[in-house]
Amino acid sequence: MKLQAVTPVILTLLPVTTAWGTLGHTTVAYIASNLVTPPTTLLFQDLLYNSSEHYLARVATWADSFRYTSAGRFSAKLHYIDAQDDPPERCGVQMKRDCGEGCIIGGIGNYTRLLLDPSTPRGLRNMAAKFIVHFLGDIHQPLHTESLLRGGNSIAVLFNTHITNLHHVWDTSIPESHVGGYSLPFAQSWAANLTDSILYGRYKTQAESEWLKGMSLGDPEGSALIWAGESNAFVCSTVLPEGKEGVEGVELSGKYFENAVPAVESLVARAGFRLAEWLDLIALGVERDEL
Ligand SMILES: *[C@@H]1O[C@H](CO)[C@@H](O)[C@H](O)[C@H]1NC(C)=O
Ligand SMILES: *[C@@H]1O[C@H](CO)[C@@H](O)[C@H](O)[C@H]1NC(C)=O
Ligand SMILES: *[C@@H]1O[C@H](CO)[C@@H](O)[C@H](O)[C@H]1NC(C)=O
Ligand SMILES: [Zn+2]
């Protein structure tokens, strides 16, 4: 009885911003684990204390729980960058203007450097690895690179007749409705398809020629800023092509959804592909230090 009385209060306190939901994050992680080299797999299986094929996927949403603990409160702002742009007319991310007191760009930079530093204690390396797996996912969710109405959290929309908000639609409703579920097996099967498209299919050319552009372990902030700018461009082209007016109070499970799916697939694919490359580069860097 007591629990029932308390539930509604808890519900209203639930986080509004969760980033790619579980499905998006675990799919990004599985794509990366499909693509990394064997030494990278061994390094991160060791750091994350799990030698199964799920070693990345099982920690992919850890950062979204941690941010709501008192120990993790400092990390909440590291899940996004609030681009002060003006969609749909003008999109764009600028570090100085948009990063505030810390943002996802700095988060990726700092935790990458901690992973590379041989003097980082093991517990902190473990945490850094979990942050990196998560943040490379978040930065590829367009509404994690947008300030407008709290990244769409304050834009009320409908999805399958349910009232929700635009941020949640991009985090969760679109991916889940496309794939049919959110558990690890669904993520694994979506990841298998997207990995196939990266290696042999519709993303092959783009992945090889464009998705690694500007990526450098010597400049993690610069690399992350490129990824943020790219996903922010989707805010103008696909998320809000007609501005707030085009989506507010509108049912998005029809045409809007169909138009969004190719963008979501491509963003999840490039997040997984880039995460694999990033972890490979880190593993190479760590190996060099150990020689
Ligand atoms: C590794 O992770 C999987 C998936 O969460 C879990 O089922 C398994 O028990 C874990 N293995 C170890 C050794 O922790
Ligand atoms: C990154 O580390 C620097 C130096 O310790 C610190 O000043 C900065 O606040 C950190 N940024 C983030 C986003 O954690
Ligand atoms: C994966 O691809 C198969 C074959 O094209 C398709 O039937 C299935 O729906 C796809 N699954 C996901 C989750 O994308
Ligand atoms: Zn997040």
Q: Which residues line ligand 2 (CB under 6 A)?
A: 78, 102, 106-107, 110
Domain count, the chain: 1
- Convert 26-47 to b/e letters by CB count within 10 Å (16 or more is b): bbbbbbbbbbbeeebbebbbeb
Residue nearest (by alpha carbon) to ligand 3 atom 12: 190
Specify the CATH number for the domain of residue 255. Answer: 1.10.575.10
Q: Which residue has the tokens 């603990």?
A: 69
Atom number, ligand 2, closest to the C-alpha of residue 106? 13
Predicted local distance difference test score (pLDDT) of residue 101: 93
Predicted local distance difference test score (pLDDT) of residue 19: 58
> pTM of the predicted model, to two decimals?
0.93
What does 59-117 look like in DSSP terms, one character per residue?
Answer: GTTHHHHHTTSTTTGGGGGGG------BTTTB----HHHH-TT--HHHHHHHHHHHHH-
| Ligand closest to CA 61 | 4
Predicted local distance difference test score (pLDDT) of residue 186: 97
- Ligand 3 centroid–CA 211 distance in Å is 23
> Is residue 3 in a domain?
no
Q: Are 108 and 94 in contact (CB under 8 A)?
A: no
> Is residue 243 in a domain?
yes
> Is residue 1 in a domain?
no
Predicted local distance difference test score (pLDDT) of residue 1: 33
Q: Are 18 and 62 in contact (CB under 8 A)?
A: no
Helix (H, G, I), strand (E, B) or coil at 206: helix
40-96 per-position pLDDT tens digit: 999 999 999 999 999 999 999 999 999 999 999 999 999 999 999 999 999 999 999
**Residue of 189, 198, 265 with the most ligand 3 atoms within 8 Å of its CB, for mutation:** 189
Reading the block at residue 93, the tokens are 């991310």
Predicted local distance difference test score (pLDDT) of residue 17: 44
Q: What are phi and psi of 116, to 5 degrees?
A: -80, -20
- Ligand 1 centroid–CA 25 distance in Å is 17
pLDDT < 70 stretches in the chain:
1-19, 290-291
Predicted local distance difference test score (pLDDT) of residue 176: 97
Domain extent, residue 162, equals 8-290
Q: Which of 140, 167, 168, 274 is catalytic?
A: 167
* CA 288 – CA 247 distance, rounded (Å): 50
